[in-house]
Amino acid sequence: MSDHQRHDFSEELIDLSADYATGQADADQLNELARMDPDASARAAFDAVAAEIDAAYAELDPVDMPEGLEDRLFAAIPSQPIKAASPELKLTDAPEPAPSSGGVSWVPWFVAAASVAIAAIAILRPQPAPPAQTPSMAQLRDQLIEQVEPASLLRYSWTPTQDPAVVGEVGGELIWDEATDQGYMTISGLEVNDPSEFQYQLWIFDATRPLGELPQHGDAFGGLLTQRPIDGGVFDITDTGEVVIPIDAKLMVQQGVAFAVTVERPGGVVVSDRSRVPLLAIPG
Amino acid sequence: MTATDQPAPLLQRVADGDQDAMRTLIKRYSGLVWSLVRRKIRSQSDAEDLVQEIFADVWKSAHRYDAGVGSEDTFVAMITRRRIIDQIRRIGRTPTQVTLEAPNAQTACSQTQDNEQLDTTSNAGRVMGVLRTLRPERRQTIELSIVHGLSHSQIAESTGMPLGTVKAHLRRGLDEVRTLLASQLPAESKEVSR
């Protein structure tokens, strides 16, 4: 091995990158990494090594897949061409570095793999003001409404509950395009949240998913709310007036038939106990 | 078959929206993704949902795949591991059931140590070959962290090593593996390690 390879990264950067690759880096370390590794090359290199090791063990000692999972994966294949992950997340405010001369880089793969983590880093870093030409969420919502086939666009008004997060007259609607798995929420009348205390989370109820996993919700809406819904993304309310929020479905939605906004701890949850559901969007 | 007759890489066809390629991708990699997820996520239903999210991410990110950088397995595994780490952060880390009789308890790596049939040209064989050259405690620490998803403190508790020693073994061990794997690549590909 060459001396160049051995001393690619400083000791401190190796320590931080190893912690990052094993999921052990805390917020301060992530900030420090963003500063020390602006092109993400160290994080990408250690992420790749961890992936190679993990995949090697999985190959030698595989875990049996549960029955039916492969069929569910097949069923989730989208009928439309897949949108690239967007928006493209930048690691720094600087332009993306050119590939190293004569070689290849793990960095694009790292960007593909780490969009969530990069987003977390980005939250911790000062954000530049958006360019003046950036369309607003309301414009993007309107574009979607104009572009999609009306037949594939679901439009539901909000049904508020007695939850204390409902602080005014609730207005707005939820739109969801079944063909492209895109949608927006327009909301007014919800409490402005402090993201360090709680956040809102959207859940999408898909008629094709099995019922009966959360029986505490009984037979309401034909038993639909007993199912395990799809995470539609965590969001904040910044104004009790009208705000527009994009829906970020974590799974392909086959047949979205109801939507619920819950109040959750910062960062959201994997399974909501649905103890606080300020808004529902359900067929009228 | 000439070079121009070679089928496009699977992930490139996925990026182009080829549904048959997506089915092939699932058939080829669902076992790998499931094995990676299930070792670290205790709830089966959480694990199943996560696998679906991971494939959605792979489909969306497939356009970033470059066969010149590395294998499709590694690309899929990188995306999978990032999603697992994110999920563990969200649900809170729960200890994996790993029983260690002693600090040098036999690991999957050491179990394969005597297997002369292991194909050293395969990815797994190449990686295991490198891991076997590490000091046993470094190899063990890497396995507990990366394969079983244990935190530093959980590894310290399981093995009886001081926390600082666990961190040092893990960091130095990973860097050693990175360097050794890079040294096995053709000269023109060594930038891959950076």
| A74: exposed, middle or buried (Cβ count in 10 Å: 0-12, 13-18, 19+) | middle
| B141 shares a domain with B87 | no
Locate tokens 């070959």: which residue? B129
- Give φ, ψ of A23 to 5 degrees: 75, 25
A55 token code pair: 């995949």
CATH number for B66: 1.10.1740.10
Considering only alpha carbons, which residue of chain B is nearest residue A50? B146
- Do the domain assignments include residue B2? no
- Please write the tens of the pLDDT for every residue from A82-133: 554 443 333 333 333 444 433 446 666 666 666 544 433 333 333 344 444 5
Take residue B80 and report the two structure tokens written for it.
């999978």
> What is the least distance, in Å, from the CA of A236 to any CA of chain B?
17
Domain boundary among B54, B72, B94: B94
**CB neighbours of residue B34 within 10 Å:** 25
Residues B87 and B176 in one domain: no
The answer to whether residue B174 is domain-embedded is: yes
Same domain (yes/no): B116, B87: no
Tell me the residue type at B173.
G
Quick one: B68 and B106 in the same domain?
no
Mutate to test the interface with B, among A82, A208, A254 (most CBs of B within 10 A): A82
The reply to whether B107 and B136 lie within a common domain is: yes
Q: Which of B43, B63, B94 is the last residue of a domain?
A: B94
At A5, is the pLDDT very low, low, confident or very high (cuts 50, 70, 90)?
very low
Q: Is B139 inside any structural domain? A: yes
B157 touches chain A (CB under 8 A): no
Decide which of B103 and A261 is more confident: A261
Are B36 and B114 part of one and the same domain?
A: no
Q: Do residues B111 and B172 share a domain?
A: yes
* Same structural domain, B27 and B102: no
Same domain, B90 and B137: no
Q: Indicate whether B1 belongs to any domain.
A: no
- Is the domain of B120 the same as that of B182? yes
Structural tokens at position B62? 């497939």
Which residue, among A3, A38, A23, has the nearest Cα to A13 in the 3D structure?
Answer: A38
A205-242 core/surface letters (b: 16 or more CB in 10 A; e: else):
bbeebebeebeeeeeeeeebbbbbbbbbbbbebeeeee
Chain A segment 228-247 residues within 8 A of B by beta carbon are 228
Do B169 and B133 share a structural domain? yes
The pLDDT of A201-229, averaged and rounded, is: 69
Same domain, B187 and B112: yes
What distance in Å separates residue B2's CA from the closest CA in chain A? 25
Is the CB of residue A70 less than 8 Å away from at least one CB of chain B?
A: yes
The average pLDDT across A123-152 equals: 67
**B36, B64, B94 - which closes a domain:** B94
E-strand spans in chain A? 153-157, 159-160, 166-171, 173-177, 182-190, 199-206, 230-235, 243-246, 256-264, 279-281
**pLDDT at residue B185, rounded to an integer:** 62
Give chain B's domain count.
Answer: 2
Tens-place pLDDT, residues A159-193? 898 899 999 889 899 999 887 788 999 999 999 99
Contact A47 B82 (CB under 8 A): yes
pTM, rounded to two decimals? 0.61
Residues whose CB falls within 8 Å of the CB of residue B43, separated by 6 or more in sequence, listed in order: none
3-class state of residue A193 by DSSP: coil
Assess if residue B131 is contained within a domain. yes
User: What value does the mean pLDDT of chain A take?
Assistant: 76
Q: Can you tell me the mean pLDDT for B35-47?
A: 89
Q: Looking at this predicted complex, what is its ipTM?
A: 0.84
Nearest by CB to residue A53, choosing from B49, B151, B177, is B177
Which residues span the domain enclosing B168? 96-194
CATH number, domain of B104, equals: 1.10.10
The answer to whether A98 contacts chain B (CB < 8 Å) is: no
